[in-house]
Amino acid sequence: MTGCKVKLLEECQNVLEENRRGDFTIPSPFLYPFQWNWDSGFIALGLLHIEPEKALLELETLFSGQWENGFLPHIIFHNAEKYTSYFPSADYWNSKVSRFAPKDLGTSGITQPAVHGFVLEDIIKYDFDKDRIARLYDQIVHYHQYLYEYRQFKDTHLVAIWHNWESGMDNSPWWDSVFKRIHPQLLENIQLKRKDVHAVDDSALTRPTDDDYKRYIYLVDQLRENRYERVPADFPFQVLDPVFNAILIQSNRSLLRIGKMLGKDTSLVESWIKTALENFSSIHWNADDGLFYTFDILANSQVKIHCSGSYIPIFAEIPDRDQLEKLLRHLEAFKDYYLVPSCMPDQPGFESKNYWRGPVWIHMNWMIAEGLRKYQEHEWADRIKNDSVKLVEKYGIREYFEPFKDSNTSIGGKQFSWSAALTIDMLKKQSG
């Protein structure tokens, strides 16, 4: 490892240490003062290289906010009284409207992609108490059972998301047509108290608009009215997301292996994997375009916009060889950019600096590169990994990055934990 890489590794480790809050890690000190669901999963992967006990504690602390019905919120509001300015706050979510929510800990009422199974599979490589691993295994299975009980689309073992924040890709162009269902008149009385626009540079160019945010809050209001349990048939945001579903399949594969190691009955997990794989491509794959797309349930149609999410099924080894080659031909067309833009530059809705409408995200690149290695596509995996490390070296440990190679602008949240954690993982694997 070169001197520059050693310095970068130290900087990433320092970010994780500075963002540690007891037994969990916040995503960023300037934007996100609580524990976020899939952030903690990716953060744990970096912590494994530094102090494995902290990685296990990260997940255990996250699951302290799990609801009785298995639901795992996207935010756990530890120490909520210290950060009352965050919006939407724990009080705004008011998770206690649900009979299943914790009584002594505030949470949000939506979830995020189920990364915990494949993270736990990395954690068990270390010498931890078997009872702690078994407890987390059972909690993760319970979460997946929630998803299939409350969110399953027909009998496909593919699950729907009810909010754009559940995808983790907040203002992706994938959601533009979905949000058109929410009439502006429904938003007139929504008051915003956003902190994010004051915590980042050039927020008008790099964050969702107020009009977007009002739609996000409208969905929260509607979900809260339904006690975060079910949604009416005409609820405007009901989407099958290939990112969410591919990650769920990958975590189920990990649960299958962990369960066998623990001596558990894994027949239910096996059925989840089998049925989801049988249905995934028929819902998400577009043979004419050679891409995976999100599926709008109410419109009964795919949303045909080329995004980085189109490649996440590679992580779960879903594409066959023909599908993979088509996906890689698409990537080749964007070789003059840093890979992988969250929305491709030739697509409607592309904005190079705006959050999920163009910038590169390290955790998406990490998943795509990890998946490509499973197909023995090491050259492609190295290209994506090297682009990721170059971006962090050039711009700092940021939340996201502009895909133009001639850009001189740093964007997004600073001292970002999952960017630090996954850069550590990539550098350590490279040196190993």
Beta strands in 229-339 (DSSP E): 239-240, 285-286, 291-292, 294-296, 301-303
Give the burial string for 252-276 (b: 16+ CB within 10 Å, else e): bbbbbebbeeeebebebbeebbebb
Neighbours of 280 (CB within 10 A): 23
Active-site option among 121, 399, 402, 425: 399
Q: Which residues share a beta bridge with 360?
A: 341, 401
CA distance 34 to 62: 11
Residue 236: closest CA among 222, 224, 226, 249: 222
Question: What pLDDT sits at residue 35?
Answer: 98
Provide the token pair at 425.
């993982």
Question: What pLDDT sits at residue 193?
Answer: 79
CA distance 369 to 382: 7
Neighbours of 231 (CB within 10 A): 18
* Catalytic (active site) residue 278: no
Q: Is 205 in contact with 354 (CB distance < 8 Å)?
A: yes
Residue 38: closest CA among 129, 108, 91: 108
Backbone φ and ψ for 402, nearest 5 degrees, come out as -70, 140
Question: Residues, the chain, total?
Answer: 432
Question: What pLDDT sits at residue 198?
Answer: 62
Tens of pLDDT, residue by residue, the chain (432 residues):
788 899 999 999 999 999 999 999 999 998 899 999 999 999 999 999 999 999 999 999 999 999 999 999 999 999 888 877 789 999 999 999 999 999 999 999 999 999 999 999 999 999 999 999 999 999 999 999 999 999 999 999 999 999 999 999 999 999 999 999 999 999 999 989 777 766 666 767 778 899 999 999 999 999 999 999 999 999 999 999 999 999 999 999 999 999 999 999 999 999 999 999 999 999 999 999 999 999 999 999 999 999 999 999 999 999 999 999 999 999 999 989 999 999 999 999 999 999 999 999 999 999 999 999 999 999 999 999 999 999 999 999 999 999 999 988 878 889 999 999 999 999 998 655
CA trace torsion 218, 227, 63, 399 (10° rounding): 0
Question: What pLDDT sits at residue 65?
Answer: 98
Quick check: helix, strand or coil at residue 292? strand
* Catalytic (active site) residue 170: yes
Question: What pLDDT sits at residue 98?
Answer: 98
Query: Residue 340: is the preceding peptide bond cis (ω within 30°)?
Result: yes
Is the entire prediction scored with pTM above 0.95?
yes
CA distance 287 to 419: 33
H helix runs in 78-190, sequence order: 90-93, 116-123, 130-150, 164-167, 176-179
Q: Tokens 């003062």 sit at which residue?
A: 33
Active-site option among 170, 196, 241, 425: 170
Say how far residue 212 (Cα) sits from the centre of its chain: 19
- Which domains are seen in the chain, by residue range? 3-431 (1.50.10.10)
Question: What pLDDT sits at residue 431?
Answer: 55
Quick check: helix, strand or coil at residue 75? strand
